[in-house]
Amino acid sequence: DGGAIYSIQCSACHQATGQGIPGAFPPLAGSEWVLADSAILVSILQDGLQGPIVVAGNTYNGVMPYFRGKLSSAEIAAVLTYIRSEWGNNADRIDPIMVDEHKTRFGERVPWTSDELIAEFGKP
Ligand code: HEM
């Protein structure tokens, strides 16, 4: 399930608490990006993310790996649904269909920057 995938694939960087590590890995708890339009989250997981990003008022500038080809659509949806409902987060679940739609639309895309996400999907 989503929690198990999170422990294996995400918690080394974002931590079991979802708080991240200050200056290095941004938090998922209370992150506007996690609570944003589901298309943003699917994009980050499928294609990765790089360059400066502001999360809850703090700027990070690192590289997040992509999971396209490493996790299935069902696994991506499960882990995203998990982070949208943990640590006080409260946002709609994400369906595997949304991941398949992303694949059809963007194919094998290079990692996003936060500016590109905002230009494509709007501000989180
Ligand atoms: C950014 C989720 C795995 C490093 C983000 C963001 C999300 C996210 C939603 C956007 C910013 C935020 O909300 O904090 C996930 C999930 C993962 C995962 C669900 C597992 C499936 C990882 C791993 C690493 C990592 C394994 C480290 C190797 C980062 C970094 C950023 C980031 C450095 C900021 C990138 C930048 O500065 O542009 N992650 N992440 N993430 N993640 Fe992850």
Each of the 124 residues of the chain gets a pLDDT tens digit; together they read 999 999 999 999 999 999 999 999 999 999 999 999 999 999 999 999 999 999 999 999 999 999 999 999 999 999 999 999 999 999 999 999 999 999 999 999 999 999 999 999 999 9
Class (C level, CATH) for 2-121: mainly alpha
Closest to 60 in 3D by CA, of 44, 84, 38, 36: 44
Any idea of the CA torsion for 71, 76, 78, 84, to the nearest 10 degrees?
140
Residues with CB under 6 A from ligand 1: 9-10, 12-14, 25-28, 31, 33-34, 41, 44-45, 49-51, 53, 55, 60-65, 67, 79, 83
Query: For residues 107 and 93, what is the distance between their CA atoms, to the nearest angstrom?
Result: 23
